[in-house]
A and B are shown apart, each in its own frame.
Chain A
Amino acid sequence: MYGKQLPIVDVTRPAPAGASAGSATPGKHATFEYLTTRKDELVGWARKFSLFPYPFVTACCAMEFMAVSASNYDTDRFGAALPRFSPRQADLLMVVGTVTQKQAPILLKVYEQMCEPKWVMAFGVCATSGGFYQNYASLPGIDRIIPVDIYVPGCPPRPEMVIDGIMRLQEKIANGRHPIINDRF
C-alpha cells in the first residue's frame, strides 16, 4: 500500500451513502486511510525523538556524560544518541561542566551557530548556576548568556537525572508549539 496514493477524505462532508462509518469496504477504505492530527503534535513527535546533541563538555561532569551515553544508561533509547561535533548539525546543546568567563564568548558563538529549532540543557550545577564557584573566573550559570530549556542539577548529576531531564525536554518539545516561521527564523 505504500506505493499507492491514498484517497484524500474530506472529513467535513458526510460520508457518501453506502460507506457508513464502521463498515469500511475492504480495498477501498484500508487501514491508515487518513490520519487526523495537529501539525504541532506531529512535528513535536518527530522532533522529540530525533535530538542531535552537541556536547559542550568542559569539566568533570564529562565523566557523567560519558556514563549516560554509554550502554548502561544509553541515551540512544530516547533518540538522543549521536553527538554531532558541529553545532550546525545539532539541535540540543548540552552544556556539561563549568563555563568560565573566558569561555563564555565561545559558548555564545556555538549557540548562535546552531540552526533553529534548538534546545539547551544545562548539565550539572556548574552550568546551571555556577555551583560553588562564585568568583572572578566562572560564569554564574549559562542562562546569563543563552536561554536554557532544561536544568539538571547535581554535582555531577546521576545518569537517571539526566535521562529524566531528556524525557522532560521531550515532553516540552511534544507539548510545545512548532511554528514553521517564527521570530528567530
Chain B
Amino acid sequence: MTATVFTQLEQSLLQSLQVPAPPDADEALPLSPERPVRSLGVQHGILVLELLPEALVRVARGLRDDFGFDLFLDVTAVDWPDRTPRFDVVYHFYSTTHHVRIRLKVRVHQAADATAPDVRPEVETLTGLYGSAGYMERECHDMYGIVFRGNADLRPILLYEGFVGHPLRKDYPKQQEQPLVPYRPPQSALVR
C-alpha cells in the first residue's frame, strides 16, 4: 500500500512542484534551478528526493502546504571528505495525515581552502516554515559546521562555547577531547 502512495506522491509531486522528472542516466542534461531534481525514488521504505539547494525552500513549502508533511523530523548532514560538493544535508519530514515520510537531500560545498577561505557550507534555513527547525539546525551547525542562512541563532546547543571544530566531520580526530576542567595528574589508586 505504501508503494502506491509513493507512486502517486511521486507523480503529483513532480507535477505540482512543476519540476521536470530527473534526467535519465544517458541523458546528460545539466541540473539548473528550473531542473532541480537530481534523483527521486524509494529507498528503505522512504521516498527520497535529491535536490539542488536552490529549490530546497520551494519544495519544502510545497510539501508542507500541498502534501500535508506537517512534521519536520530532523535535519542532519553527511560528510563525504573526498567528494565535491563535500556535504549532504538531509531532511526528514513526516505527514501526520498520510503517515508517510519523505527525505530530502541537498549537496552543499565546502569550498577549497586556498581559493576561497571564507566560503562555508551554506544552505537556506527552514525556520520560516517550521519553528522546530531552529534547534535542529543549531545541532547540525554544531556537529558539521553547516551554516543555515537566515537562522539568526546558531549558538552551540549540544557543544559548548569555545569548542573548536565540528566533531562529526570526518577530519575531526576521533579521540580529540576539549576539556573544560583541567585534568588532574594521574595518581595511584592508593593516594586520595
Contacts and interface: CB of A to CB of B under 8 A. Distances in A.
Interface string A138-162: 0110011111010000000000000
Contacts of A135: 167, 174-175
A101 B183 CA distance: 11
B133 to A, nearest CB: 23
A147 B174 contact: no
Nearest to B166: A136
By secondary structure, the B interface counts as loop
By secondary structure, the A interface counts as loop
B180 A105 contact: yes
Contacts of B179: 101, 104, 139, 144
A101 B184 contact: no
Interface in B137-190: 158-160, 167, 172, 174-181, 183-184, 187
B183 A145 contact: yes
Nearest to A130: B177
Nearest to A134: B175
A174 to B, nearest CB: 16
B164 to A, nearest CB: 10
A115 interface: no
Contacts of A42: none
Contacts of B181: 104-105, 108, 145
Given A136-B178, A145-B181, A101 B160 contact: yes
A140 B158 CA distance: 18
A151 to B, nearest CB: 8
A101 B192 contact: no
Nearest to B192: A147
Q: Which of B167, B177, B179 has the most CB of A within 10 A?
A: B177
B121 to A, nearest CB: 20
Contacts of A102: 158-160, 180
B184 A145 contact: yes
Interface string A101-128: 1101100100000000000000000000
A66 interface: no
Interface of A: 101-102, 104-105, 108, 134-137, 139-140, 143-147, 149
Interface of B: 158-160, 167, 172, 174-181, 183-184, 187, 192
